[in-house]
């Protein structure tokens, strides 16, 4: 590990492991604050691969986006011959994936609070010309004050106003149909994926699914959004209205992050009810 990192931080136990590196807890003695340090082993990444580009893009993008209360902040960055080390906000072990698996569904007020924080993070990214491109529950972490922290910018990309992106990135259940169709796309792919996350929080299962990757892709491409009564009977009309606007196949009609943040279900903290809910 980098000598400079060890001069400044006390690195302690391992708290997680990804494809290319290990995450440790560490302490900065000068302020007594604990952080996480993500250490990436360069030898695991072949120099000319897409993965290598992503690894270098992540610290650059985190630096640009920091600080934001709902994005993992990059506090320090070290590089030596063998490793890259990113000192970032420390989060708890219970990410949104873990919460959904253990609790099955998340009540509307809590789902609205999570969605509001996630979309505020995305609005910040989009305003600075960054698309995350891999929004999913595993990348949604929480700190010790239960504040949402969007993580893993390894698939993120810079975009320019009015210019489209290309390349298939993302995770099957969450990826937007225009990405799968191989078309050029814009930052609204993140709104689609956030819509999938919202559906999963309220229903306990994804909106578009299948038994294999091909079946999942077919379901996403059809984008036939359904609200089975046995689950959605007790979900408010306002929540379903927002889901329809986020999971809209027509990108020009799909909500932007700013429109999501102005939607009554979000502004009312998941409490908005309409006449339809009374009948």
Residues forming contacts to ligand ATP in the complex (CB under 6 A) are 15-21, 23, 36, 38, 72, 88-91, 141, 151-152
d(CA 175, CA 230): 26
Minimum CB distance to ligand ATP smaller for 85 or for 254? 85
- Of 89, 95, 134, 190, catalytic: 134
249 annotated ligand-binding residue:
no
Phi, psi of 252 (to 5 degrees): -70, -25
Question: Is 144 part of the annotated catalytic residue set?
Answer: no
Minimum CB distance to ligand ATP smaller for 86 or for 196? 86
- The minimum distance between CB 263 and ligand ATP, in angstroms, equals 29
- The minimum distance between CB 169 and ligand ATP, in angstroms, equals 12
Phi, psi of 131 (to 5 degrees): -105, 130
With tokens 């250490």, the residue in question is 39
d(CA 154, CA 135): 11
173 burial via Cβ count (<10 Å: 0-12, 13-18, 19+)? buried
Minimum CB distance to ligand ATP smaller for 13 or for 161? 13
d(CA 249, CA 192): 9
- The minimum distance between CB 137 and ligand ATP, in angstroms, equals 11
Cβ contact 171:136 at 8 Å? yes
- The minimum distance between CB 224 and ligand ATP, in angstroms, equals 30
Close Cβ partners of 183 (under 8 Å, ≥ 6 residues apart): none
Count helices and strands (H / E) in the chain.
Answer: 12, 9
- The minimum distance between CB 171 and ligand ATP, in angstroms, equals 10
d(CA 18, CA 66): 22
3-class DSSP state of 258: helix
For residue 113, give both structure tokens. Answer: 């609070």
Nearest residue to ligand ATP, scored by beta-carbon proximity:
16
- Residues noted as catalytic: 134
Residues of the binding site: 38
Residues of the binding site for ATP: 38
């Amino acid at each position: 590990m980098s000598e400079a990192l060890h001069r400044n931080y006390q690195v302690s136990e391992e708290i997680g492991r990804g494809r290319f590196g290990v995450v440790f807890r560490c302490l900065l003695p000068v302020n007594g604050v604990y952080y996480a340090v993500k250490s990436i082993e360069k030898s695991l990444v072949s120099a000319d691969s897409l993965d290598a580009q992503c690894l270098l893009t992540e610290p650059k993008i985190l630096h640009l986006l920091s600080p934001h209360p709902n994005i993992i902040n990059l506090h320090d960055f070290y590089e030596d011959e063998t490793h890259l080390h990113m000192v970032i906000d420390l989060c708890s072990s219970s990410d949104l994936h873990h919460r959904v698996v253990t609790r099955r569904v998340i009540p509307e007020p809590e789902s609205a609070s999570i969605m509001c924080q996630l979309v505020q993070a995305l609005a910040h990214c989009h305003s600075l010309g960054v698309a995350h491109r891999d929004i999913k529950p595993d990348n949604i972490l929480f700190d010790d004050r239960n504040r949402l922290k969007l993580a893993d910018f390894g698939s993120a990309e810079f975009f320019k106003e009015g210019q489209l992106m290309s390349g298939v990135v993302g995770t099957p259940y969450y990826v937007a149909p225009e990405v799968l169709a191989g078309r050029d796309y814009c930052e609204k792919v993140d709104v689609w994926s956030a819509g999938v996350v919202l559906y999963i929080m309220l229903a306990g299962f994804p909106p578009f699914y299948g038994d294999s990757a091909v079946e999942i892709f077919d379901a996403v491409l059809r984008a036939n959004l359904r609200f089975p009564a046995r689950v959605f009977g007790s979900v408010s009309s306002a929540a379903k209205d927002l889901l329809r606007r986020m999971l809209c196949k027509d990108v020009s009609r799909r909500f932007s992050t700013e429109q999501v943040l102005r939607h009554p279900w979000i502004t009312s903290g998941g409490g908005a009810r309409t006449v339809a809910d009374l009948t």
